[in-house]
Structure 1
Amino acid sequence: MSRAYNFSAGPAMLPEPVLRRAMDEMLDWHGSGMCVAEMSHRGKEFMSIAEQAEADLRELLAIPDGYKVLFLQGGASTQFAMVPLNLMGRGEGADYIKTGSWSKKAIAEAKRFGAVRIAATTEEDRFTRAPAQDELALDAGSAYVHYTPNETIEGVEFPYIPDVGERPLVADMSSTLLSRPIDVARYGIIYAGAQKNIGPAGLTIVIVREDLIGAATEQTPTMLDYRTHAESGSMYNTPPTYAWYLAGLVFQWLKDLGGLSAMATINERKAAALYAAIDASDFYANPVEPGSRSWMNVPFTLADPELDAKFLAEAKAEGLLTLKGHRSVGGMRASIYNAMPEEAVQALIAFMQEFERRNG
């Protein structure tokens, strides 16, 4: 069996050692006689899996005391509603930073629940950069400030954590969580869909400061109240158990690798190599300002768009999959999350150079 290199933005590649371990444990997890997908979420077997996964995640991210870690369903898109429902009542509306497709969706959803102010936007620049700190116009009475550290579609990444004073900072880290160390204490809420760096689709990680729990608006549905899940240990209803288990295996894989500092070194090296190859060519181009380029999602265009279909077909034949850019942006996009090995990036670069030689 040969595995291709899947450059999808999500669901994305999982580490091969994780998949092999899951395969070994599929029919009988640790002598239980059950697959994890068959276990009661409140049984001692799965509870041990859940507790270990949370402990490992807390260790990897150095999550300080005073934060709850929730393992939820609904993806990051459900958090677009949960955040305002739980936080909007703490102030006079909220500030949002608009930097691309996902922050735009978060803004549209938040407007259903209260006043939304755009603290900064780079829309006039076609979302090709992150705004600088001095461009942020924050309201003194805002309940929170929301931003998207990495825009998956546009390939734009903040090179800094916004300074928002005493306001809670909320971050959609779907594409970046676990790709490098972060200072969790700088945030009120961090949320992330799992299907990039964490595990399979179906699981959403929410890290929420405890003082932000318990102030949901009166109309908030039970399942959209952070307190519901914080008080029940994410077991109010049946959670996505198998996705939780696989995420736990990813956490252990990261620890074996040397933790997030080691992962960051690898990720930075992968991105630097790919951007260098693009910048050295007149055939390929990346639209993002160098200071705002994403480590995780690298969009690029060909000098002649008529060659796009040929590029994708030949790349697929070489085992380089899912390189087509998002329909709203076009061109190509290589998502090089944690599980993407360095040799895959080098294989892509070699293919790009050979394709340019034959078609440039």
Structure 2
Amino acid sequence: MAHEVQAVVSRRKGDPVGVETIIVPDPGPGEALVAVRACGVCHTDLHYKQGGINDDFPFLLGHEAAGVVEAVGDGVTGVEPGDFVILNWRAVCGQCRACLRGRPQYCFDTANATQPMTLADGTPLSPALGIGAFAEKTLVAAGQCTKVDPAAGAEVAGLLGCGVMAGLGAAINTGGVSRGDSVAVIGCGGVGDAAIAGARLAGASTIVAVDVDDRKLQWARDFGATHTVNSRERSPVEAVRDLTGGNGADVVIDAVGRPETYRQAFYARDLAGTVVLVGVPTPEMTIDLPLADMFGRGGALKSSWYGDCLPSRDFPMLIDLYLQGRLDLDRFVSERIALTDVEEAFDKMHRGDVLRSVVVL
């Protein structure tokens, strides 16, 4: 039986999104039908709307979500109806070269649902990151459902589905921040602040937050930054070096993803330090760095894709830390909104007025 539900659809590049009736099929083999309880408004959804990822319109937006499994298809054993789950876009296959080498967090063949969700007239929808969760119900691969403790509210649990996990993982998984390290984070939106929270959780002693907006720098302090730098007023490279004994930070995380911020990250790190790129660049961006500097400074230049997370490992652990009061996920939620408010939430995000607007269904 097909399900008619309300959902946020982007029909054409740059046009305002709208709430429409869509058709969601019952789950087939390996699939799960999930009643969405909450979904964060992530910058990736805005990229889809603006045509910055591909042109497979119309898009069913939303991916940073938590909900309850309503039904599963044949062959599904990992989740069952009634389970409270966070949706993820890394449903590991178990068979690719990364999985077989014991590195499933780098899986090259993650799964999505095979049946399409459609507009009322039968037009297939492209779900954002294979999820499409600005909807009352969505169809995903069962492996995209990670069961967690339902004591965590859906508004905060869903944030681990993308942005918060990306930032936390950039610090803990990719950057390998450990006790006593110095860390600098460039860009203090949701992902950057999550990286700051991750660095603090890992025991970093010095955490320098860099942004052009004093309001965001105050948010960064709330998440654990020990120092802040407004890069409109002072060179972030000089400031980070001054705050780390003239050396530079052990780990520098670029949560913006622009050539100028990456260059700042490269030169703000200590010798043999680590640069982590977690901000998402656009396809036309390039960077030119002296090869002698890359050789002479040593260390590591890394990209962090989804915080190098393994959802089955990381989501339950982070929810437990939240329930213990050690990870303040509530602080990321700026406002709770309805499906009809998503277009306005994009505007607020673009202006930097919110960390996360969360659609509550």
TM-score class, shorter-chain normalisation, is 0.3 to 0.5
Greater strand percent: which structure? 2
Higher relative contact order (CA 8 A, sep 6+): 1
Report the TM-score when normalising by structure 2.
Answer: 0.34
Greater helix percent: which structure? 1
